[in-house]
Structure 1
Amino acid sequence: MDKHRCGWCVGDALYENYHDNEWGTPLHDEQLLFEFLVLETFQAGLSWITILRKRDNFKVAFDNFDYQIIANYDDRKREELMQNAGIIRNKLKINSAISNAQNFMKIQEEFGSFDAYIWAFVNQKPIKNNWKHHKECPATTEISDKISKDLKKRGFKFVGSTVMYAFMQAIGMVNDHTTSCFRYNEV
């Protein structure tokens, strides 16, 4: 029997696998939080499937999303990334991944972990929405506005409210699975 999924992922095996196993699952691992932050910032202006298809390339190019390594990338590494056809070759986004890694660690120092910082915006508990259709889901919320503003104040780049809402969805801060989706009550 076919599982009922959110409409946005149906028909593409990669999308369905991501939806079924990752999207909306509360995430607290620092390395994975940084990975999603990088992927979401690179996604700005593009479709998520484009990023998913390049995810493995990003993982290799960005040292498995190790923010401590990325924070120390030099000009030679920046140029290497700009020549890597397997990722999104956008100089501003590449530079933002590096500065965001540095700022990520500053947040860790201040709050003990990025996890403690980011989840405090939802009082450490996922917001569970009740959408019947995925198109009801907003692109931004007051909380994503607040996160975006705070991250920008801390020097982060490519963290507009829309990007931050997508980040919140991806890491399970908000459950935007449709009510008929098999994952709705699982996450």
Structure 2
Amino acid sequence: MISYKEIFCKVESTLKSQSKLSDEEFDIRFGEYKNYENRDLSDDEYFDKLTKVVFYSGFKAETVTKKLDIIKYHFPDFETISNYDEGRINEIFNDESMIKNKKKILACVNNSIVFKGIVEKYGSFRSYVDSFEIDNSFENLMLFKEEIQYRFAFLGEITSYHFMTDIGLPVLKPDRVIARIFKRLNLIEDEKQLLKTVIHGRKFSHENRFPIRYVDIIFVKYGQMGTDDYFGLEDGICLKNNPKCHICGIKEYCSYPIA
């Protein structure tokens, strides 16, 4: 039987041991992700998260993170963006400091119009989310996912989960990092099994009594490549290439062939 509690505790403690932060600072910074569920977000905060997901889609996280200030400058709020004309769109595209992807820029403009329509119909985006009664069943949660994929540009199978995770809904983002770890743990057979990855993520959340956003960030940082000064990490542990099996706290559960 899978020990979701034991596995997660070992992932968490191993990550903490590899961080340059003190235990207290580690708990504070990662602990921010324990307060994501049922947050009271404004309409503009919801739209800001949607815009970020569009730009992160298919790009390296570090590439987009460096551009967040200029993205926010050009996409301040959905009301303003919904009035952008072709001239303003070209101005954004021609900004040398901006990410050069016209499809994403157009997607954000089109999404602002759709978003505005939802707010006008339901009174707020939060009311729109609540109309699905997501807390009542997993089926309702999946219906919401299907709905936003249909309505918004650049929300695909993974990015729709990404948006849902960021607005505090009880799913993790089944990206390549988490899917890779879950496959090595024999929780899934193929990294393309997104729904199964999400279900296991919910089980980790339930068994450890942690919000799923916290579960998500712990696993992501465990397998993500690259320095992260905020979390005091030089690199993850369960990397795609050359994973650090010698310090991994869950290698006893892992199927990765150790040389």
Q: What is the number of residues matched between the two proteins?
A: 157
Report the equivalent of 1:178.
215
Alignment of 1:12-161 (within 5 A): 21=32, 25=36, 26-62=39-75, 64=76, 66-121=77-132, 123=134, 146-154=143-151, 156-161=152-157
- Relative distance call for 1:69 and 1:45 in structure 2 (3 A) is same
User: Which amino acid is 1:162 matched to?
Assistant: I
The CA distance in 2 between the partners of 1:6 and 1:116, in whole Å, is 40
CA RMSD in angstroms, aligned pairs only: 3.6
- Relative distance call for 1:109 and 1:163 in structure 2 (3 A) is same
Q: Is the 8 A contact 1:22 1:170 kept in 2?
A: no
- Relative distance call for 1:79 and 1:121 in structure 2 (3 A) is same
5+ residue gaps, structure 1, are 128-140, 182-187
Per-residue CA deviations over 1:79-130 (Å, capped at 9, x if unaligned) read 11111233322111111111100000111122221112124446369x9xxx
Q: Is the 8 A contact 2:107 2:153 kept in 1?
A: yes
Report the equivalent of 1:164.
160
- Relative distance call for 1:27 and 1:43 in structure 2 (3 A) is farther
- Relative distance call for 1:167 and 1:79 in structure 2 (3 A) is same
- Relative distance call for 1:5 and 1:165 in structure 2 (3 A) is farther
5+ residue gaps, structure 2, are 1-11, 171-211, 219-259
Aligned with 2:67: secondary structure?
helix
Report the equivalent of 1:185.
none
- Relative distance call for 1:150 and 1:57 in structure 2 (3 A) is same
Q: Which has the higher contact order (CA 8 A, sep 6+)?
A: 1
Per-residue CA deviations over 1:19-78 (Å, capped at 9, x if unaligned) read 55468623521111100000101111013333222111111122x2x1011001011111
- Relative distance call for 1:27 and 1:158 in structure 2 (3 A) is farther
What is the percentage of aligned positions where both structures have the same residue? 25
- Relative distance call for 1:76 and 1:43 in structure 2 (3 A) is same
1:171 deviation in Å?
1.8
The CA distance in 1 between the partners of 2:14 and 2:86, in whole Å, is 42
The CA distance in 2 between the partners of 1:53 and 1:121, in whole Å, is 35
1:144 deviation in Å?
6.8
